[in-house]
Structure 1
Amino acid sequence: MVAVVRSARSSDPTAAAPPSGPLVPRLLLGRRLRALREESGLTRVQAAKAVGVSATTLGRMERGRTGFKHRDVAALLALYGVYDEAERATALALVEQTRAPGWWDAERDLVPARERLYLSAEQSARLIRCFEPDAVPVLLQTPDYARADIARRHPDATAEELRRRVALRIGRQRVLRARPRPVNLWVVLDEVVLWRPVGGTATMRAQLQHIIDVARRPNVTVQVAPHTATGHLETPFTLVRFMQQDLPDLVYLDRPEGACYPSRPEQIERHWHAFNTLVTDAALPEHTPRILTGVLASY
């Protein structure tokens, strides 16, 4: 069971991602620009100075963490000796794609800037692995549970804002039903989440039943871990692997002070190791319905 947690990458690196905003084009373009710079033998500082941007800006471009301007990309391509028209056209076409609005753009006033990266990643993912110590993950929430959870996190929200926030959350769940490739979701829940009432008895009963139902889907796996195995992990974390084979995995940490995205290879590997350890320590997936049914009977 553990061996399949980190499944092999897709054999189709050109598989199209669903419309999700500018993240994937930014990552693809940034990765290509970095490869071209390294092939040219230039340091980031040298390349940045040559085209009139800061080394910090170029670093963010290469990591796909910022937008791109036509003139900057054209200047970099010329600096790196890229004169092939097809490659230049491809790169500049990606610049246009980086300007596409995110699927959540109409609700951007509700989405903190640092969370927008993850929302785009989620909709472009091939697989998602997450650990949640505090609440049912958004992708598994019912509308009533989402409403109650949002209300306690945003006590001053108006009725209209609450409605929009719930719709935004539930809208994220379309990745579980996307065709032809729904995302492969694997969740490890701290057992205390099941006993933490959110929204009252009826809401919790419906929520637990919903997890049982969703976990029957072939693309969804849910495990419950004892708190003795998770107590040292206080922060939820999510791992995202994209459909495009050559993109690095993304780590998303949902911290009280704001979203964080560790990006060094050793950091990504450390979070994969943490998740695989949780999978080993948690109850087997086939035991999840029995565990949840037992908890449900107590509400």
Structure 2
Amino acid sequence: MTAAQPSHERRPIQRYLEHSRSGPTALRIVLGTQLRKLREASGVSTKVAAETIRGSHAKISRLELGRVGFKERDVADLLTLYGITDPDERADFLALARQATAPGWWHQYSDVLAPWFETHLGLEESASVIRTYQNQYVPGLLQTEEYARAVTQLGNPRASEQEIERRVRLRIARQEILHQSDPPRLWVVLDEAVLRRPIGGPGVMRAQLRRLIEMTQLPHITLQIAPFSLGGVAAAGGPVTILRFQEPDLPDVVYLEQLTSALYLDKRDDVDNYLSVMDRLSAEAERPVATLPFLVNMLDELDARQG
């Protein structure tokens, strides 16, 4: 891509500025990818690019991977270096840089938010499809407040009551993406063990089952149960989440959460392996039409035991 190309052929940024679902995390990745493409097309080395913005090779790498925010001055200097002189195109890039550095809605919870999880929230709000397998807990996007509180207390035994409540509020706020005008498609495969584990006690589980029944009525949510009768399942190693995006510059991302950290995988081979696992899980689990009677039966069992 050079300055000699027609302006209308090299203004790929506009669609991202207009996309309602693109949050700052996704936009950082998009902007970094576009800047990398411009650098490579202009034949500029990372060393020269780094010197231009008074930084290091590592800084250019982090910028192009979308792992850090952008200063408008740096973006402007790089555009000049790469031969981008069209005023409208430069304005698009600078507008994208401003949006990419805007604080996300979760910024208000920074006192209880781990940096590694912040990335997940940013990707989650921009995803068009979220596929997840869970074998420990109901996924956060589908938890009731009481269930979320019980899970949070288990995972943070030394936290104060105030901190627990802040974490619960954050989890409930995440769920707003499922109720917006253009929600992502959520496809969940849930191990039966999750539903049998009495998190918070019978009352909490009863309310949680009712919530799952309610959410499965929404057209953009698919819930499958992997029953005990399956024996081992394809993803027995642990929970897996795969996020897919409408933006062509955003690759699918595999999210693997650990106790105090997380892995984000976006290399094609890694993603393909996990997509294969997820496809096998979906094929092995009960069909979605069986989910409602399964949940209703479990709810009846709980009621009978309490009766």
Normalized against structure 2, the TM-score is what?
0.86
Determine helix, strand or coil for the equivalent of 1:239.
strand
In the aligned structure 1, how far is the partner of 2:261 from the partner of 2:95? 32
CA contact (8 A) 1:17 1:243 kept: no
Displacement of 1:46 in angstroms is 4.9
Displacement of 1:185 in angstroms is 0.5
Equivalent runs, 1:1-299 vs 2, <5 Å: 16-18=19-21, 20=23, 22-49=24-51, 51-179=53-181, 181-226=182-227, 228-230=231-233, 232-299=235-302
- In structure 2, relative to structure 1, the CA distance for the partners of 1:19 and 1:81 (3 Å cut) is closer
In the aligned structure 2, how far is the partner of 1:40 from the partner of 1:123? 33
Deviations 1:168-214 (Å, cap 9, x if unpaired)? 111111111101x1121100111211111100011111111211110
What is the total number of aligned residue pairs between the two structures? 286
CA contact (8 A) 1:149 1:198 kept: yes
Unaligned runs of 5+ in 2: 1-13, 303-307
- CA radius of gyration, larger in: 2
CA contact (8 A) 2:244 2:251 kept: yes
Unaligned runs of 5+ in 1: 1-11
Deviations 1:9-52 (Å, cap 9, x if unpaired)? xxx965523474x2122122111101111212344345335544
- In structure 2, relative to structure 1, the CA distance for the partners of 1:270 and 1:133 (3 Å cut) is same
Displacement of 1:288 in angstroms is 0.7
RMSD: 2.1
| Structure possessing the higher relative contact order (Cα contacts under 8 Å, 6 or more residues apart) | 1
43-52 vs 236-245, which deviates more? Answer: 43-52
Normalized against structure 1, the TM-score is what?
0.88
Matched letter for residue 299 of structure 2: L
Matched letter for residue 149 of structure 1: V
184-193 vs 34-43, which deviates more? Answer: 34-43
In the aligned structure 2, how far is the partner of 1:156 from the partner of 1:184? 35
CA contact (8 A) 1:229 1:278 kept: no
CA contact (8 A) 2:28 2:101 kept: no
Deviations 1:64-113 (Å, cap 9, x if unpaired)? 11111223222221221111111211111122112211101111111100
In the aligned structure 1, how far is the partner of 2:278 from the partner of 2:26? 24
